[in-house]
A and B are shown apart, each in its own frame.
Chain A
Amino acid sequence: MRTLLARLPWRRNTPLLSPEVFALRCQEQATDLLRLARRLTRGNEDPAQDLVQDTLIRAFEAFLREEYHDQGNLRAYLMRILTNRFLSQKRRDRWDAGVDIETVPPPLSESAETLLVSQALDEPLERALAALPDGLRATILLVDIEGLEYSEAALALGIPLGTVRSRLFRARQILHQALLPCATAQGWLPVKEVV
């Protein structure tokens, strides 16, 4: 009933949540946000925890300023804030270092490897994901792992819908190539190249 009411045109901009309930709902998303943040930061725990903390606080500030208008999909909204912050920071770092966001990242540090890979369900895939450039990794994490719609990912990444599609294709192609030797070694069916 609440969802139905929220869809009515005259209720669109009426906040249905109290700040206390909004705060609780944000905190309920912390686990999903941390999973995304850890993969974005390639297993760097402190920056990942920082990202989640900042995201929750910024979302609450936006709500109090009545700037939260995403009816229903709070999870996608929080992931958008988190990804935006991560990529902005990366752009700043890379600008200082003279490289862009499409650059292949350096190898994983020992502590990051422990966090990302030691208990991974699919270690080869986690390694292949961590080796993707930031922009491609963020796209595939949002769409394939976190299940956001293309349009939600486009907003989070600040890119057009068509670029989401092309990044997804490129990211999957790189993952596919990276996983081929492993798949063959484990007896999985070696697949043909994407045309």
Chain B
Amino acid sequence: MKALLTARADQRLSGLIKRYVELHLSQCAQCRAALESLIALRERLIALRSAPAETLSPDRQERVQAAFTELLKRHKKPPE
């Protein structure tokens, strides 16, 4: 049931298994409480997606850009 509750919290159940889990949840207060706590934790984790965004430092961006340019140059160079 642990794995099924995890999948239920993620809304990744379907068909017969989903119906079985829903039926079990309607009869088991302990699993309902466990599911609620899993959903609450998941919502807190999802909220971390909106943390302040920062990007690569300017020198890293330059290095990436230089590497891209070099790779592209080598790629376009006709074979000798």
Contact partner, B44, options A53, A60, A125, Cβ 8 Å:
A125
Q: Count the A-B residue pairs with Cβ separation under 8 angstroms: how many?
A: 107
A20 and B76 alpha carbons, distance in the complex (Å)? 12
A195/B54 in contact, CB under 8 A: no
B36 within 8 A of A: yes
A144/B64 in contact, CB under 8 A: no
B54/A34 in contact, CB under 8 A: yes
Of the four ranges (under 10, 10 to 19, 20 to 34, 35 or more), the interface on chain A belongs to 35 or more
| Chain A CB within 10 Å, residue with most, of B30, B37, B50 | B37
B26 within 8 A of A: no
B23 within 8 A of A: no
Task: State the Cβ distance, A127 to closest chain B Cβ, in Å.
Answer: 12
User: Which residues in B have their C-beta under 8 angstroms from that of A122?
Assistant: 44, 47-48
B52 within 8 A of A: yes
Closest to A61 in B: B71
A120 and B6 alpha carbons, distance in the complex (Å)? 26
Contact partner, A191, options B37, B50, B55, B64, Cβ 8 Å:
B37
A84 within 8 A of B: no
Task: State the Cβ distance, B19 to closest chain A Cβ, in Å.
Answer: 19
B37/A144 in contact, CB under 8 A: no
A57/B67 in contact, CB under 8 A: yes
A52 and B36 alpha carbons, distance in the complex (Å)? 36
Contact partner, B47, options A60, A119, A121, Cβ 8 Å:
A121
User: Which residues in A have their C-beta under 8 angstroms from that of B33?
Assistant: 191-192
B34/A195 in contact, CB under 8 A: yes
A52-B60, A125-B44 known; A31-B52 Cβ under 8 A: no
